[in-house]
Structure 1
C-alpha cells in the first residue's frame, strides 16, 4: 500500500480536518475549563488572554470558531471581533458578564453569531459551538450546490442565497451569517408566524428554551439593518416576515 509521508494511503479519503478553536478569556480558570472541555472533543484549542494577543492569534491560526469574552485587557472583545471579522469572517460566540440586551446587540452588530451570559453551562457552550460549526459547514455545502436562480424577492427586499447578499430598495445590507440565515428562514415562510423554538431549531440547529432571547436579539439586529416594518412580533409566539405589498 502506497502512502504519502504523514498522510493517508493513496486512494483513501483524507481524515476530517481537526476543528481549531481560539478561546479568548483573561480569567485563567474559565479559559482552562473551556479549553479542557473542548480538547476532550478532539479539537485543537489555543488560549489568548488579552485583546491584542487574540487578534494576532486569529490571524495566525485562522480558527474555525472563536469563543470571545467581552471584557479583556488592552482592547475589548467588541473591538477584537470587529478587527477579526474585517480580516476574515469567522464564527464567534461572545461571553459577557452583563445580561444587558444593548451590549448583546452591539456584539451582534460587530459580527458575533451568538452570545452567552456568565455564569454559563459548559455543556450549553459546547452544544452551541457544535451547532454553530454545523451551520457553517451546511452553508459551505449549500453554496457549492446553489440553484441557478436562488434569489428570493419579496416586496423591495432581495435575497441572493447563492452569493449570500441582501438588498432593500436596491441598497445593499450587510448581515452576519446568522442574521442572513434567520432572514432566509423567515422569508421562505412569508406572513407565517414562526415560533422562537422553530427558529432555534432551523437557524441555530439546537433546541433550548434558554435560547429564545438569542432569537429576539437577532430579530432586533435585523430590524435595525432592514427596517422595523418587515418583521412582525406575535407576542408569546414568535415572528413573521411581512414584506411590503408590491
Structure 2
C-alpha cells in the first residue's frame, strides 16, 4: 500500500483529501505544521507528499528545498490560484507538479496516480534497448544508465522531471512537441494538469545546459507549435 503524507494546515481540506485517497487504496498521514511536516517527510516512510504552500512555522517552498536535498520522492504542491510565483519557485526547486484549489476528487486521484507511476518507472530502470548508454550532442552528454547529465564533462545537477523531459526531447531530435504532448508524456496526464508546468521545466533545463539560455542551441521554442531538441 502506497503511503502519502499530506502537509496541510486546513484540517477540513486535508480530511477531504485523505478520505478520497483512502477510498482509492492509499495509506494517508496528515500533518498541519510545516516543521513537523518536514520531519515526517524526511523519515523516508512515504511514497508521495501532498504539500500546501502556506503553512505555519515553515512554508512549503522551504520544505521543498530541504526535501530535495535528501529525497527524490514525488512532491505535489497544492496551491491557490493567486500563488503563481510560488508555483514557479516550487517547480524550480524540484516539486514535480501542482494542483490548484478548488479541485475535484477525480483530478486529485488522477494526479497522484500519474506522479506515482512516473516515479516507479524511474526507479524500475526499465531497459531501453534502442537507446545507447551515452547520448552526446556537442558539449552536452546524457548518461542514460546513471541518469546524469554533463556539460563540458562537468556534471549538471538536474532534477527528476527535468531529466525525463530532456531525455525525451534528446531521444526524439528535431521533432516538435506541443506543451500538452510533453505534459502527457512526462507527467502521464492528458485530461488534467496545467501545461505551463512544461514551460517552467524547459526554462530550468535551458539555464543548466545552454551557454545562452535566451538563445538556446538545443532546447528550442517553435513559436505557435511547441518545443524541439536541436542536435
Tell me whether the two structures share a fold, i.e. TM-score over 0.5: yes
Partner of residue 35 from structure 2, selected from 49, 52, 71: 52
Q: Paired residue for 1:3?
A: none
TM-score (norm 1): 0.84
C-alpha distance in structure 2 between counterparts of 1:50 and 1:238, whole Å: 40
Partner of residue 92 from structure 2, selected from 96, 109, 115: 109
- 3-state SS, counterpart of residue 125 of structure 2: helix
C-alpha distance in structure 2 between counterparts of 1:73 and 1:187, whole Å: 42
**Aligned residues of 2:4 and 2:27 also touching (Cα < 8 A):** yes
C-alpha distance in structure 2 between counterparts of 1:226 and 1:100, whole Å: 28
TM-score (norm 2): 0.89
Q: Paired residue for 2:11?
A: 28
Aligned length: 225
**Aligned residues of 1:197 and 1:209 also touching (Cα < 8 A):** no
C-alpha distance in structure 2 between counterparts of 1:177 and 1:231, whole Å: 17
Q: Paired residue for 2:23?
A: 40
**Aligned residues of 1:22 and 1:65 also touching (Cα < 8 A):** yes
Residue 194 of structure 1: CA displacement?
Answer: 1.1
Structure 1 unmatched ranges of 5 or more? 1-17
RMSD: 1.9
Residue 140 of structure 1: CA displacement?
Answer: 1.7
Q: Paired residue for 1:239?
A: 227
Change (3 A) 1:224 1:120: farther
C-alpha distance in structure 1 between counterparts of 2:102 and 2:150, whole Å: 38
C-alpha distance in structure 2 between counterparts of 1:232 and 1:45, whole Å: 41
C-alpha distance in structure 2 between counterparts of 1:207 and 1:20, whole Å: 25
Structure 2 unmatched ranges of 5 or more? none
